[in-house]
Structure 1
């Protein structure tokens, strides 16, 4: 088997999915799934039971043998957020490692959202055409619902809600035995949770299209029979499904549609959730897709490997997510863009000093975009507010340590300086602390170059000299404020890189 083949394994709420994919061509050599319902354990007892752990071990061992048969020596095992919601997830993770020799990596909710978005961008038929009109991508897993908005062919924003059908069934389970109309109460419960997402939607944007995907949609395999990879229906077609499900008993659903007890429990919450979204958004067309998180992970890995088959920009949605956060907290767009521009120029022209790579450049760009969000709360010590806002937000595509790093860089872009030994960042390892220090030093300089908030400096030339780093600015006005600000903020640059940084300006009339 060629080295371009790579294995992927995802532990979801209902199954363990796997694939072997040629990263150069994005052709799947093998794909499958083993039904292991950790979701039922988690939502019933909040823990993964020993018997379920045994099933996971068997599934992983079987997949490992398959990987060996295909000659795949290295592959990734990823646990979704459903797996890590279990109170004993870390113990189970350790048990799986002890019994299979394979570690289970974690994903944040924002990473999962990123991979699902990559899946539809790269694999959904006519996606560009469909999203010219407002479109909401809805990924329904057992425990949560990810809602991602698109308009004019562009990603808008994403929001995760704890509205998965198994979770709703758990919360609402007692109602079916205690109230005369549990469906109406469940509808009100779902509507109350959707209110936050609806509040964030642009006021004048219509969303006539919906794309449904996710593990919980397996119930539609029988509700909407099709041998195709994608099913299309409309508002009226889904209304008929909704009426049939709402009026049916569990026994009828189980017998008529050949559903397991677990699927039967999820039918009403799933159909009700989708129908309420249809009504709320006034959507006209619905596409049901079998694309999964696994597809996005494959695409992302192919892109990182330089595959021409993965013809999507892997950072586009990440940067849009950061811009959306900045817009939400009313960051001055002109100063933001100026700071981003200078930060990236400094990064590119000072590579000999910092020695960092593409991912670190992206983190700097994100930090430069969102570093002033704290001013929305209070301009006094706004950098402290920026840190906790960033840590509490969903920045698509970042790992948890990366998001913590961006928050720390934003905090230290101002006058607040990390301790020289970076001991105040004890929760991050030494490598990440050093990256934070380097990127914070660069961001401080970039921010100083627009200290007046008037975008006086049009361009800069960067020169690394034996005793200093010299910035030569071409400006439309006097830059004394920028020079003075840099003298203060540049002290940390000198500590980190061992060279002072100075600004020389020339005014262009």
Structure 2
């Protein structure tokens, strides 16, 4: 059956930049990003003293949109959503700007209200993070949206008319902030926040940051810490790091900021005001930690477009794993289901021996379903490819440590190889993770071995820990010769991980 593919272009006309993302979505529910493009706009700076966007600036935006529309046509994106945020929304001639852009480009321009912008940012985050309660802070060029959600439901949101670009313009021309200017910015934010009492009623929640300011913060902190995992989404930034960075950047000339490793040159002048907004809101709401989100408004627009009646995923991790499986549909589905079933049954039967938690069981489940992912690169040595594909495909719903742990379990071959693979990530992992990956990895190896023929001859498995051995009893519809031979080869690594040997017995019967 031929797969039906839909390509969607999402254009975000922001106050600082204009971005295009092209997504591909198919009838199996699989989606991926095909490409992303960005043009600097600084629309918040272009609004005149009369509050109007001039014709020359509208024409410049139209030219970018026409270019982006051409890219969409090249990619075959039949659906294009173009959404404008704070700069166009707050312009005195907002309706005229949107109509002019539509006439010049043929694109319907959605001018989002502050509430709509906050809701779409929430959709982007809640579909890519397994977090139940928190604050979202989206710092754009011309506005900052703050939302409170609990039990994965959006409760309150507000759009403040200050962002990184217009705050920089209002308080400093150089991009540097002295003590007096910093105090003035803080006072502005405090006065605006005071009108919304719900901001102060839920201390101790994470602050999940969206937008360029927060992404840059994450990138700078990772470079400073020499963080070994190049993943921005769901990255935690210590509060003291934000305070140190903010103080250092506020006093630093823009020319010097541009030389900092990881600093986008087009953001060097506005990073200090953006961080000050973030810091002040963090303090006011009494947040517990900073979390960087790599998903936001554009992702929210995509989810709403493909599933307008049910845009929020019930289970982020399950959706993410299922998406990877659908994108790599070459993997034998019945075999993958069998491996997961057997692995989880072994885990459950041996619970008195290992005493591991439900979270560890979920890691094994993820690894079991993705262990063959590396065969997309090459079947031989697919374990090596699997590690990098699982680790860097952005498994949503897991922390960085948990992603790496799932990748290690999925790719486990020998204890020595797992130790070598883990070595660059020691700063992220805990001391016990090497042993944990080996234990769960050998359970997965055993489950894979018990379907070596990929014909699912094993109908039931039982495992029981004896004095110095784990006894595995199989019930099969036929004698599982390949499976028993392969399972026996796992014994050596199993003993290293569990300090117990394997014993097998098999009961075969005919279905005739």
Alignment of 1:67-216 (within 5 A): 67-124=72-129, 126-128=130-132, 131=133, 135-151=134-150, 153-173=152-172, 181-197=180-196, 199-201=197-199, 203=201, 205-216=202-213
> Residues 251 and 258 from structure 1, CA distance in 2 versus in 1: closer, same or farther, beyond 3 angstroms?
farther
The question of whether the paired residues in 2 share the 8 Å contact of 1:80 and 1:107 is answered with yes
Counterpart Cα distance in 1 of 2:188 and 2:85: 25
Cα deviation, 1:21-72, whole Å, max 9, x if unaligned, reads 2343232233332323322212777333444333322322222222222223
The question of whether the paired residues in 1 share the 8 Å contact of 2:177 and 2:250 is answered with no
> Residues 88 and 3 from structure 1, CA distance in 2 versus in 1: closer, same or farther, beyond 3 angstroms?
same
Matched pairs, number: 304
> Residues 218 and 52 from structure 1, CA distance in 2 versus in 1: closer, same or farther, beyond 3 angstroms?
farther
| SS class of match (1:150) | strand
Moved more, 295-304 or 72-81: 72-81
Q: Which residue of 2 aligns with 1:502?
A: none
Counterpart Cα distance in 1 of 2:91 and 2:279: 29
> Residues 257 and 2 from structure 1, CA distance in 2 versus in 1: closer, same or farther, beyond 3 angstroms?
same
Unaligned runs of 5+ in 2: 224-229, 317-512
Counterpart Cα distance in 1 of 2:239 and 2:138: 18
Cα deviation, 1:282-334, whole Å, max 9, x if unaligned, reads 33311122223110011111212778x95489xxxxxxxxxxxxxxxxxxxxx
The question of whether the paired residues in 2 share the 8 Å contact of 1:78 and 1:105 is answered with yes
Alignment of 1:379-394 (within 5 A): none
Q: Which residue of 1 aligns with 2:16?
A: 14
Counterpart Cα distance in 2 of 1:55 and 1:178: 30
The question of whether the paired residues in 2 share the 8 Å contact of 1:15 and 1:36 is answered with yes
| SS class of match (1:186) | helix
TM norm structure 2:
0.52
Alignment of 1:401-420 (within 5 A): none
| SS class of match (1:82) | helix
Counterpart Cα distance in 2 of 1:266 and 1:110: 24
Q: Which residue of 1 aligns with 2:458?
A: none
Counterpart Cα distance in 2 of 1:149 and 1:219: 23
The question of whether the paired residues in 2 share the 8 Å contact of 1:18 and 1:33 is answered with yes
Q: Answer yes or no: is 1:62 the counterpart of 2:67.
A: yes
Counterpart Cα distance in 1 of 2:175 and 2:11: 37
Q: Answer yes or no: is 1:28 the counterpart of 2:30.
A: no
Q: Which residue of 2 aligns with 1:300?
A: 304
The question of whether the paired residues in 2 share the 8 Å contact of 1:140 and 1:215 is answered with yes
Unaligned runs of 5+ in 1: 314-509
Cα deviation, 1:474-509, whole Å, max 9, x if unaligned, reads xxxxxxxxxxxxxxxxxxxxxxxxxxxxxxxxxxxx
The question of whether the paired residues in 1 share the 8 Å contact of 2:175 and 2:269 is answered with no
Q: Which residue of 2 aligns with 1:458?
A: none
| SS class of match (1:284) | coil
| SS class of match (1:19) | strand
> Residues 48 and 202 from structure 1, CA distance in 2 versus in 1: closer, same or farther, beyond 3 angstroms?
closer
Alignment of 1:329-478 (within 5 A): none
Deviation at 1:258, TM superposition (A): 7.6
> Residues 6 and 263 from structure 1, CA distance in 2 versus in 1: closer, same or farther, beyond 3 angstroms?
closer
Deviation at 1:120, TM superposition (A): 0.8
> Residues 238 and 5 from structure 1, CA distance in 2 versus in 1: closer, same or farther, beyond 3 angstroms?
same
> Residues 44 and 31 from structure 1, CA distance in 2 versus in 1: closer, same or farther, beyond 3 angstroms?
farther
Counterpart Cα distance in 2 of 1:305 and 1:66: 29
The question of whether the paired residues in 2 share the 8 Å contact of 1:212 and 1:286 is answered with yes
Cα deviation, 1:447-489, whole Å, max 9, x if unaligned, reads xxxxxxxxxxxxxxxxxxxxxxxxxxxxxxxxxxxxxxxxxxx
Q: Which residue of 1 aligns with 2:221?
A: 224
| SS class of match (1:123) | coil
The question of whether the paired residues in 2 share the 8 Å contact of 1:299 and 1:310 is answered with no
| SS class of match (1:90) | helix
TM norm structure 1:
0.53
Q: Which residue of 1 aligns with 2:45?
A: 40
Counterpart Cα distance in 2 of 1:177 and 1:239: 16
Q: Which residue of 2 aligns with 1:275?
A: 279
> Residues 102 and 21 from structure 1, CA distance in 2 versus in 1: closer, same or farther, beyond 3 angstroms?
same
Counterpart Cα distance in 1 of 2:151 and 2:310: 28
The question of whether the paired residues in 1 share the 8 Å contact of 2:176 and 2:269 is answered with no
> Residues 261 and 287 from structure 1, CA distance in 2 versus in 1: closer, same or farther, beyond 3 angstroms?
same
Q: Which residue of 1 aligns with 2:373?
A: none
CA RMSD of aligned residues (A): 3.4
1:234 aligned to which of 232, 238, 255 = 238
